[in-house]
Structure 1
Amino acid sequence: MTQTIGELLESAADRALPVVRGIDDGQLGGGTPCAEYDVRALVNHLFQVVVNFQALAAREEVDFDQVPEFVAGDWRGRFGDETARLVEAWSVPGVEEGTTGRMGLPARTVGLMVLGDLTVHAWDLARATGADFVPEESVVDELGPGLAAMAPQAREMKVFGEPFPVGEGASAFERVLAVTGRDPGWRPTETAGAAGVSGTTGTPGAAGAPGTTGTPGAPGA
C-alpha cells in the first residue's frame, strides 16, 4: 500500500533530527557535499525548506528568495518543532489532491520534493559532520523513481548537478544521491562532490529552491 507523504515525512524526520541536533557549533563553518553551502548555510537552507513547504501544503504563497536567519538561539530545538509542523501539514486529509505552488505541480510531487530535501540534506549534513545516517527504506523506495522523474527539469533549473557515475553494486540510496549529482563517497577532506541541491527533493520546484536537492522543490514548487 502506498504511504502518504505525511507518513513518509515522519519517517524521514525521525532519521534527520538526530543528525541536525548532533551538530556542534564548531562544525558550522565546515564544508558540505553542496559546494555552495557550509554546514551553517545548509542547516539554514533546510530550515527554510521545512518552513516553506508547510505553507505549500496549505496552498499558501512562498518566497524562496527571502532567506531568514534560522540558525540562532535554540535552533536545534526549533528544527524539531518545525519538522513536526511539516509532518502535520502534509498529514491533513486531502493534502495530496490537486496542485500547489507557483508552477501548479501536483501536490504529491511537491510533497516528494520536501521529502527529498529532508533526506538528502540530512545525508549531506551527516557526511559533513561525521554523523551516522541511514534513511528509511520506504523513503528511499519512494524517492528513487520520484527524483529520477524530476531530474531532467531539475538539471535544467540548475537544482541538480549532472548525474554522478556509480557502479552496478551501488545501493538504492547511493543511486538517489547520484541522480542529484552527488558523489556517494564524498568526505569532508575531498573537494569533489555534487553541486548541491538544496532543496525538492530539495526542488525543481525536490531533493531545492535552489535547493532541492538542491532542493527539489524550491525554485518553485
Structure 2
Amino acid sequence: MTDRISDLLEAAAAHAEPVVRGVEDKQLGKRTPCADYDVRDLLNHLFHVVVGFQALAARKEADFSHTPDYLEGDWRGRFAAETGLLAEAWAVPGAEEGTTGTMNLPARTVGSMVLLDLTVHVWDLARATGQDFTPDEEGVRALGALVAEMGPTARRMKVFGEPCPMPDGATPFEELLASTGRDPHWAPNPNP
C-alpha cells in the first residue's frame, strides 16, 4: 500500500491509458457525464491538466486560462507519454512538500487534484464511449479524504455538482463519484 502521489498517479495512468486508447474518432462528439464537455472537450481538458500539473510539481506556473487542442497526430500515444512524465514529475524528491500554484495550496493537495481528474474524468470518458473502467483502489481510497475536505469549496466554485444520493451498499468508487456530483449509473442517451 502506498500513499506517494507519484505511485498513485502511475497506477491511475495505467488504468486510464486503455480507456483513452479505446476512444474512437467517431465518438469525439458524444456527450459525457460532465454537462459542459463532449468527449473531445473532456479529452483536451484531461490532457491539459496532465501537462499543467507536471509544471506545478516543479513549482512552475501553469496556464489554465485556455485549453489547446491536443487531439492531433498520435494523441493517444502522447497521452500515455504525458501521464508517464506526470508521475515522474511528482516523484522528484520534495515535489509533495510545501505549496505550489497560484492558489498557494499544499503541494500534496495539488497532486491529489490531478489524481482525481485522472480517475473521475477517465470514468466520464469510459461511460460516454461504452467502455469498462475499474479505477485503482488505492487511488480511490486516497481521493475519498480529498473530496470530503475540498467538496464544499469545489461545489461553491462549481467544480463539483451537488452530491448524488447513494443507495446502501455503494462501492467506495460509487461514493466518490456521487460526492463529486456524478450519478454513478449515468448512461448516454441512446437516442440523442
Residue number in structure 2 paired with 1:72: 72
Tell me how far 1:2 sits from its aligned partner.
Answer: 4.5
Q: Which runs of 4+ in 1 moved over 3 A?
A: none
Partner AA of 2:189 in structure 1: T
Q: Which runs of 5+ in 1 are unaligned?
A: 192-221
CA-CA distance at 1:66 after TM superposition? 2.1
- Report how far residue 25 of structure 1 moved: 0.4
| CA distances 1:57-109 after superposition (whole Å, capped 9, x unpaired) | 01111111121110111110110111111010001111101000111110000
Aligned with 2:26: secondary structure? helix
Change (3 A) 1:183 1:190: farther
* Structure 1: distance between partners of 2:35 and 2:73: 26
Q: Distance in 2 between matches of 1:3 and 1:140?
A: 11
Structure 2 match to 1:52? 52
Equivalence for 1:181: 181
Which amino acid in structure 2 is aligned with residue 66 of structure 1? H
Q: Which residue type is aligned with residue 56 of structure 1?
A: L
SS at 2:91 equivalent = coil
TM-score, normalising length from structure 2?
A: 0.97
Look up the match of 1:123. 123
What does the per-residue CA deviation read over 1:92-147, in whole Å, with 9 as the maximum and x for residues that have no partner? 11110100011111000000000000000110000000111001111111011111
Q: Relative to total residues, which structure has the larger helix share, 1 or 2?
A: 2
- The secondary structure found in structure 1 opposite 2:143 is helix
Counterpart of 2:114?
114
Partner of 1:163: 163
1:33 matched residue in structure 2: 33
Distance (whole Å) between structure 2 residues aligned to residue 143 and residue 190 of structure 1: 31
- Tell me the matched-pair count: 191
Task: Give the Cα–Cα distance (whole angstroms) in 2 for the partners of residues 170 and 143 of structure 1.
Answer: 16
* Larger-Rg structure: 2
What amino acid does structure 1 have at the position aligned with 2:146? G
Secondary structure of the equivalent of 1:90?
helix
> Residue type matched to 1:29 in 2?
G
